[in-house]
Amino acid sequence: MKPVLGIETSCDETAAALLDGDGTILAEAVLTQRAEHQPYGGVVPEIAARAHLHYLPGLIDEVLAKAGAGFADVGAVAATCGPGLIGGLIVGAQLAKGIALARGLPFIAVNHLEAHALTARLPGLVDGGAPFPYLLFLLSGGHSQCIAVTGVGRHRRLGGTIDDAAGEAFDKVAKQLGLGWPGGPALEKLAAEGNPAAFPFPRPMLRRAGCDLSFSGLKTAVMQSLARLPGGLPTRQQAADVAASFQQAVVDVLADRAAHAMAIMREEWPQARLLVVAGGVAANTQIRHGLTTAAQAHGFTMIAPPMRLCSDNAVMVAWAGIERLRLGLVDAMATDARPRWPLEALAEEQHATANGI
């Protein structure tokens, strides 16, 4: 198989990558738009779309140049077509289709969540590639979901957040503590100086049946505790204690929810042994530690792709493209970018494609 070009523009990372047909990374680049969005304390969709439009063509040229390749060497083009912010998705999808049309190449519309899900199968991460089925715990700024990954395009959502995503909760609490955006890394750093038992924050959903998550009650409890502090603004030590106590509550909740998800997984797929953690929040050392311990207790092994492949990137998009291409799953030029695209819809669409519907 000739190299596959992957394009990612679903949120605030503009990314392109060229992977050989066997998954070897030939070149990759990610441009974060942090500086563009920082003044607003979060991602502004219109700014993101314009930035993708501005940066993407040059980034693709850069990736091809780094790989010592040209468009003539590319065998297929894969782009994230959802879920995500529609403006950015349109930019990436349409540019990918344009390249595919001009060069007569297959186009693969990649589901962003599936791209995160399949990253664990990239050669070199797990010996021989992560075998299906496995449990994916996706913890990012926009998603918190437990997903049974049983094949390419075959997923079952076992549970997910009923309000904020885990990263969103970190970002909102960090904002309360005046830590700037995105807040997760800064909050983790501050928490290292604090006492995780200082504030008895709630553990929403703990021991509740299933593996749904919720963070809004915890976030509110943090806000109320901060508001009650004498003198208004917290001292550095108080802020560190709040950060550490919040982080500990999140670790406890995630470990409990992962344990439930592993039990559900075991019932239906007794051969499942892997817990794959992905998304920016997987960078958090305490969270990794909590999930590793929970996995061990359930006879699972926890693996987290290296950080640059955990957060948004185009390597995962190209790889998902390769996995789909191997199964003959290519997409029509009429395929639309879509802001919402649940993973469960993939199996139905594949079935329709296979039957020529």
Q: How many CB atoms are closer than 10 A to CB 233?
A: 9
Interface mask toward ligand KG4 for 130-149; x: CB under 6 A:
----------xxx-------
Instruction: Report angle CA 230, 234, 236 to the nearest 5 degrees.
Output: 140
Closest to Zn ion by CB, 23 vs 167, is 167
Contacting ligand KG4 (CB under 6 A), which of 133, 280, 290, 305? 280
Q: Is 283 one of the binding residues for ligand KG4 (CB under 6 A)?
A: yes
Closest to Zn ion by CB, 142 vs 194, is 142
Q: How far is the CB of 214 from ligand KG4 (least distance, A)?
A: 16
Q: How far is the CB of 312 from Zn ion (least distance, A)?
A: 4
Closest to ligand KG4 by CB, 188 vs 212, is 188
Closest to ligand KG4 by CB, 115 vs 272, is 115
Binding residues for ligand KG4 restricted to 214-273, rule: CB under 6 A: none
CA 208 to each of CA 211, 247, 248, 258: distance values in angstroms, whole numbers, following the listed order: 8, 20, 18, 12
What φ, ψ does residue 338 adopt, rounded to 5°?
-140, 135
Q: Is 92 one of the binding residues for ligand KG4 (CB under 6 A)?
A: no
Q: How many CB atoms are closer than 10 A to CB 24?
A: 12
The string over 52-75, giving b where at least 16 C-beta atoms fall within 10 Å of a residue's C-beta and e elsewhere, is bbebbeebbeebbeebebeeeebb
Binding residues for ligand KG4 restricted to 310-339, rule: CB under 6 A: 311-312
Measured CA to CA, the distance from residue 259 to residue 143 in angstroms comes to 19
Q: How far is the CB of 273 from ligand KG4 (least distance, A)?
A: 25
User: Closest Cα to residue 55, out of 92, 93, 18, 26?
Assistant: 92
Q: How far is the CB of 269 from ligand KG4 (least distance, A)?
A: 26
Binding residues for ligand KG4 restricted to 11-50, rule: CB under 6 A: 11
Using CB atoms within 10 Å of the CB of residue 25, give its burial: 0 to 12 exposed, 13 to 18 middle, 19+ buried: middle
Number of residues engaging ligand KG4 in binding (CB under 6 A) = 19
3-state secondary structure of 215: coil
Measured CA to CA, the distance from residue 279 to residue 117 in angstroms comes to 10
User: Closest Cα to residue 329, out of 140, 91, 120, 154?
Assistant: 154
196 binds, among ligand KG4, Zn ion, none (CB under 5 to 8 A by kind): none
Query: Which residues of the shown chain bind Zn ion in the complex (CB under 5 A)?
Result: 140, 312
Q: How far is the CB of 116 from Zn ion (least distance, A)?
A: 6
Residue numbers of the site for ligand KG4 (CB under 6 A)?
A: 11, 140-142, 167, 170-171, 182-185, 188, 279-281, 283-284, 311-312
